[in-house]
């Protein structure tokens, strides 16, 4: 650091707390955030009668002429309450959608592990909000199956009912095959289109769980291909669809190749991340749904959507820690 910097630092020590806060805000206003200014609708009342209204901490401020609230481009978005600049957020979204690990982003963007973790999870919460606002239905030919991933307590103490020793990174299950160390992810993959992934349980899904995952997400007239698990039969009463069990007949048109490649994708990501904490598994399932079906241009559009998405709840650290965690008994 320069000697001027140290001199200023010594002067600052004599300032009061309030003086420091106003100085800090003046300094932020003078920083060019390199941020595109686009007028958006009011996040409080959705009105478009919005005018420019000066700057707040370096960010453009707006005034709503209907409800009289003021807001900035980041109010209620993943960037509200964040000290990270626009380009770091862009980089973190790109890394997330491209399937890069947190440690990769920490090195590339020069941020700490905790900051990277919080940013990643705010992005995942925002992605879940985007999916909620843009629901889709599987249609045409859709393949259904399940895959299993190792239960994971990454970053946490093992709960008292778990008697095994903690696993090392990338370790395998103690028992071979399906055991209660695995979490089941229900999957539906429309050929060349949308997919659904949701963790529900440890064992194969029951009819009730299949209904929970797919109700409202199957279009009328869909042909569902399964490998014979009877729980899927319930879907004929949930949507006007037909089910073909293709046990032992996985050739030609009747195959489960799409859902199998989705499962390989999930397992590769799981390996690259060295596991995903089970309580966050469904946040990551939403990410895998988008990442699996998105090309480069979709990822660019999604990046803009994520930066502008206003949350159904605040994207705060406390919601990162507690919002809609996956509880599997
Ligand atoms: Zn308003």
| Per-residue model confidence (pLDDT) at position 119 | 97
Torsion of CA 157, 129, 204, 288, to 10 degrees: -80
| Per-residue model confidence (pLDDT) at position 49 | 94
Distance 96 CA to ligand 1 centre (A): 32
Alpha carbons 320 and 318: distance in angstroms, whole number: 5
Task: Give the long-range contacts of residues 49-58, CB within 8 A, separation 24 or more.
Answer: 55/29, 57/25, 57/28, 57/29, 58/28, 58/29, 58/30, 58/31, 58/33
| Per-residue model confidence (pLDDT) at position 212 | 94
Dmax (CA) of the chain: 80
Distance 62 CA to ligand 1 centre (A): 10
Two structure tokens written together for 99? 């399937």
Distance 48 CA to ligand 1 centre (A): 8
Distance 54 CA to ligand 1 centre (A): 17
Distance 60 CA to ligand 1 centre (A): 16
Distance 41 CA to ligand 1 centre (A): 8
Distance 50 CA to ligand 1 centre (A): 8
∠207-212-218 over CA atoms, to 5°? 95
Distance 70 CA to ligand 1 centre (A): 8
| Per-residue model confidence (pLDDT) at position 34 | 56
The ranges of the chain with pLDDT < 50 are none
Alpha carbons 302 and 232: distance in angstroms, whole number: 32
Distance 42 CA to ligand 1 centre (A): 5
Distance 49 CA to ligand 1 centre (A): 8
The residues that bridge with 56 in the sheet, in sequence order, are 59
Report the chain's mean pLDDT, rounded to a whole number: 87
Distance 123 CA to ligand 1 centre (A): 25
Distance 72 CA to ligand 1 centre (A): 12
Distance 75 CA to ligand 1 centre (A): 12
Distance 27 CA to ligand 1 centre (A): 29
Distance 136 CA to ligand 1 centre (A): 30
Instruction: Tell me if residue 143 falls in helix, strand or coil.
Output: strand
Cα 161 to Cα 28, 34, 154, 177: the distances in Å are: 50, 51, 16, 21
Distance 46 CA to ligand 1 centre (A): 6
Distance 119 CA to ligand 1 centre (A): 28
Q: What class, spelled out in words, does domain 133-322 have in CATH?
A: alpha beta
CB atoms within 10 A of CB 213: 20
Distance 79 CA to ligand 1 centre (A): 20
Cα 70 to Cα 39, 53, 140, 307: the distances in Å are: 13, 8, 47, 19
Distance 53 CA to ligand 1 centre (A): 14
- All structural domains of the chain with their residue ranges: 133-322
Q: Where are the alpha helices (DSSP H) in 246-316?
A: 257-272, 281-293, 296-308
């Amino acid at each position: 650091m320069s000697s001027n910097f140290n001199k200023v630092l010594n002067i600052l020590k004599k300032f009061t707390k309030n003086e420091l806060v106003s100085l800090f805000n003046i300094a932020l206003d003078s920083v060019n955030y390199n941020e595109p200014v686009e007028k958006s609708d009011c996040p409080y009342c959705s009105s478009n009668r919005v005018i420019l209204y000066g700057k707040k901490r370096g960010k453009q401020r707006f005034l709503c002429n209907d409800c009289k609230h003021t807001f900035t481009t980041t109010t209620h978005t993943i960037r509200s309450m964040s000290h990270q600049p626009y380009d770091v957020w862009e980089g973190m979204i790109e890394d997330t959608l491209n399937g890069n690990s947190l440690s990769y982003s920490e090195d590339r963007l020069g941020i700490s592990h905790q900051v990277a973790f919080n940013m990643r999870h705010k992005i995942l919460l925002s992605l879940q909000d985007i999916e909620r606002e843009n629901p889709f239905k599987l249609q045409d030919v859709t393949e259904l199956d399940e895959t299993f991933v190792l239960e994971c307590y990454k970053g946490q103490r093992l709960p008292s009912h778990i008697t095994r020793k903690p696993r090392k990174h990338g370790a395998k299950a103690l028992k071979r095959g399906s055991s209660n160390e695995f979490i089941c992810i229900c999957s539906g993959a429309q050929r060349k289109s949308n997919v659904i992934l949701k963790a529900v349980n440890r064992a194969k899904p029951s009819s009730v769980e299949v209904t929970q995952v797919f109700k409202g997400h199957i279009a009328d007239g869909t042909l569902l291909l399964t490998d014979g698990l009877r729980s899927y039969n319930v879907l004929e009463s949930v949507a006007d669809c037909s089910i073909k069990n293709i046990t032992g007949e996985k050739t030609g048109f009747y195959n489960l190749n799409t859902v199998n490649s989705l499962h390989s994708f999930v397992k590769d990501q799981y390996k690259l991340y060295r596991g995903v904490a089970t309580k966050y598994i469904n946040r990551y399932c939403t990410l895998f749904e988008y990442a699996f079906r998105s090309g480069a241009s979709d990822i660019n559009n999604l990046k803009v959507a994520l930066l502008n998405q206003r949350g159904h709840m605040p994207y705060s650290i406390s919601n990162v820690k507690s919002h809609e965690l996956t509880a599997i008994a």
